[in-house]
Amino acid sequence: MLGFLPAPMRGFISLLLYALNTIFWFMPVMALAIFKVLPIQSWQTVMSYLLDACAKAWITMNGVTTWLTSKIHWDITGLEKLSPKEWYLVIANHQSWVDILVLQKVLNNRVPFLKFFLKKELIFVPLMGLAWWALDFPFMKRYSRQQIEKKPELKGKDIETTRRACEKYKRKPVSVMNFLEGTRFTLAKHEQQKSEFKYLLKPRAGGIAFVLSAMGEHLNKILDVTIYYPKGIPSFWDYLCGKVQEVKIRVSVMPVEQKLIGDYMEDEAYQQEFQDWVNELWTRKDQQLAELSQERRL
C-alpha cells in the first residue's frame, strides 16, 4: 500500500509502527501480569488467556504493518491440520531474525501463541521477566554434567524443575518454539562447522530432547517448519523496508512418539537414537530446501 515510498522511508515507518504497537500492548500485559500474581489457579488461567489474546493482537497489528509497507507473496503448505486447541513443539531452520516474524504471522491463531524456553535467571530481568512469566514462557533450570558429578543429588533435578514450571500447560494449550541449529545460518558458520548439510547448520539435539523430557506428556504433536527466501536471506531491516518479495513455508505435523522421550544426559542408547532421528529429520529438511531452491531456478 505504501510501496510508492522509498525503501528507507518505508523502513522507518515500519519501525515506528512496530514500536508503537509494542508499547501499546506492553501496558495491558504488565497490568494483567500484576493481577496474575494472585495465587488462585482458576484466576491465573483466565489471566493467561487474556494475556495470550494481547500477544496475538500484537502479532495481528504487526501483520497490518507488513501489509501496509510490503508486498510479499506467501507460498505456504501444511496449515490445514493445525489447531489452536492442541499442544505443539515447533521446530524450524533459522536464517534471520525475520524468521520469528514470519513464524508469528503464519502460525498466529492457527496454533497457540509461540513460547520460547528461557533460562531461569532471565525471570529477574526488569519488566521483561515479569512479562515473560505472565505470558507463560517456560523457564528452565539446567545443570551441566560437571555440576552433577560434583553434586550427584542434582541428577534429574533440572527436568523435574522444568516439569513443575510447565504444569500450567495441562490447563491451557501451548506451542513451544525451538531453533535446532541454535544460531542463524551463515556461510561462514557453515564452513566453520563443516556441516554435512548444504542449506543448514548442524542440529543440536540436546535442546529439544530436554523439552520432550520435561513436557512430553503435555505435547500432542511436533510441528516441523521449513522457511525459504527465494530472493536470498533478508535482514530485519530488509523486511521493514519491504524488500522481501516472497516467502516459502512448508509445514509438517508429526506425532510425539514415546521413543522420543528419554534421559538425554545419562542414557547413551537413547541419546544415539535421538540424534539419529534429528539427523534424519534434518536430512529431509535439507532436501526440501534443495527442491525449493530448484523451483526458484526453473
Task: Tell me the C-alpha distance between 50 and 37, whole Å.
Answer: 14
At 218-270, the pLDDT tens digits run 888 999 999 999 999 999 999 999 999 999 999 999 999 989 998 887 788 99
Q: For the chain (length 298 residues), average pLDDT per consecutive 10?
A: 83 95 92 88 90 95 94 94 93 95 95 86 80 82 69 67 72 90 92 94 88 83 96 95 95 93 86 95 96 74
**What is the model's pLDDT at position 197?**
96
**What is the model's pLDDT at position 156?**
64
**What is the model's pLDDT at position 144?**
65
Burial class (CB in 10 A: 0-12, 13-18, 19+), 280: exposed
**What is the model's pLDDT at position 140?**
73
**What is the model's pLDDT at position 273?**
94
Cell of 163: 516439569
Q: Between vectors from CA 175 to CA 265 and to CA 124, what angle results, nearest 5°?
A: 70
Per domain, the residue ranges of the chain are: 73-297
**What is the model's pLDDT at position 210?**
83
Which of 223, 219, 54, 51 has the alpha carbon at shortest distance from 136?
51
Task: Tell me the C-alpha distance between 76 and 67, whole Å.
Answer: 17
**What is the model's pLDDT at position 266?**
79
Cell of 43: 484466576
At 142-174, the pLDDT tens digits run 666 677 677 776 666 666 766 776 777 878 899
Burial class (CB in 10 A: 0-12, 13-18, 19+), 247: buried
